[in-house]
Structure 1
Amino acid sequence: MANVCFLLADGYEDSEMKNPYDAMNEAGHQTVVVGLEKGAELKGKKGTVAYTSDFSISEVKVDDYDAVIIPGGSAPEALRVNDEVVEFVKQANEQGKVIAGICHGPQVMISADILKGVNTTSYIGIRDDLKNAGSNFLDQEVVVDGNIITSRTPKDEPAFIKEILNKL
């Protein structure tokens, strides 16, 4: 079974965390929530779910994980300005780990500068940011390009989850 790291900060899209997280656990994978601080209570923007971070980003090593999942909402904005988060995602990509982002999740990948020449999708609001990062934006429910998996919105979660599970 795989070790899956969820990168999370306050204000994530509730279902984009809950549904992939539950699906990974149901499939028997080991999951951890990594935040900017250990033990922080992280609330979804709709208030339907909350998670406590198992580790801070400064405590984790990329080598310990097979996949990194980045839910959307406003959380990626808080994550992408943290140098340790950006370096973690950069290293995960260098090691060919699965990196999956939905909605605004790819913002962290943009900051890690790992999307040049990569096919991606996202929430329409960051489409131009993806293009400016050198990505080929596709308006599809899920796009898989090598180790990178991206999706648009909560309605695309089933396809997003399916592709993550396929990769693991």
Structure 2
Amino acid sequence: MKKKVAFLLADEFEDSEMKNPYDAMTKNGMEAVIISLQKGQTLKGKNGTIEYTSHLSAGDALAQDYEAVVIPGGKSPGHLLQNKRIIEFVTEANQQGKLIAAICHGPQVLAEAGLLRGRTLTGYPGIADEIREAGGHYEDREVIVDGNLITSRTPEDEPAFIKAIIDRLGVEAY
């Protein structure tokens, strides 16, 4: 049975931060499921070069069905964090000890869910204060693994971010 990875996505995501991890997960035999605010929603990257269609709405998704959750950056996290069911999904995934990987602005969703207190993480440098205000310890590094959380800063960090996810899920490196 394939491991399932949830991608939490809304419009204006950072194109490569979605495409590269998504492609890496599917290439490594995992089932990638796009969860958004509505099922069947067409989601456009902020550069306008990539589109995805959501498989499930947040209201229909169950955290227990997934091995991991990936939250790409861009403006997508800003849209997602306003949705109660997205926050509940992330909270449930954390309570179940699921791997949660967030890049760029993705940690904003984790902050909204109250998951950062006492945790060490990174993200886009512009959200460092938000991370600290949410009780997290911000470090400016390409990837940080703290328990079940994996975080990275920018598209340049994607290789390390993807490798950390794949290593944690116990599949062969791409």
TM-score range, shorter chain: over 0.9
Alignment of 1:52-63 (within 5 A): 52-63=53-64
* Aligned: 1:73 with 2:71: no
Partner of 1:139: 140
After superposition, what is the alpha-carbon deviation per residue over 1:84-103, rounded to whole angstroms, capped at 9, x for unaligned?
00011011001000000000
Q: Distance in 1 between matches of 2:166 and 2:77?
A: 22
Instruction: Kindly report structure 1 stretches of 4+ aligned residues shifted beyond 3 Å.
Output: none
Partner of 1:32: 33
Partner of 1:151: 152
Query: SS of 1:126's equivalent?
Result: helix
After superposition, what is the alpha-carbon deviation per residue over 1:98-140, rounded to whole angstroms, capped at 9, x for unaligned?
0000000000000000111111000011000001111111100
Alignment of 1:80-159 (within 5 A): 80-159=81-160
Give 1:47 deviation, angstroms. Answer: 1.0
The unaligned stretches of length 5 or more in structure 1 are: none
Q: Distance in 2 between matches of 1:167 and 1:133?
A: 25
After superposition, what is the alpha-carbon deviation per residue over 1:14-67, rounded to whole angstroms, capped at 9, x for unaligned?
000000000000010111000100000000000111000001001111110010
Give 1:2 deviation, angstroms. Answer: 1.7
2:105 maps to amino acid: H
- Give the RMSD, CA atoms, in angstroms: 0.5
Q: Distance in 1 between matches of 2:3 and 2:55?
A: 17
Query: SS of 2:22's equivalent?
Result: helix
**Residues matched between the structures, number:** 168
Query: SS of 1:134's equivalent?
Result: coil
Q: Distance in 1 between matches of 2:150 and 2:3?
A: 16
After superposition, what is the alpha-carbon deviation per residue over 1:56-79, rounded to whole angstroms, capped at 9, x for unaligned?
001111110010000000000000
The unaligned stretches of length 5 or more in structure 2 are: 170-174
Q: TM-score, normalised by structure 2?
A: 0.96
Identity %: 55
Q: Distance in 1 between matches of 2:137 and 2:47?
A: 31
1:151 maps to amino acid: S
Alignment of 1:11-26 (within 5 A): 11-26=12-27
Q: Distance in 1 between matches of 2:166 and 2:13?
A: 21
Query: SS of 1:37's equivalent?
Result: coil
Q: Distance in 2 between matches of 1:118 and 1:48?
A: 34
Partner of 2:172: none
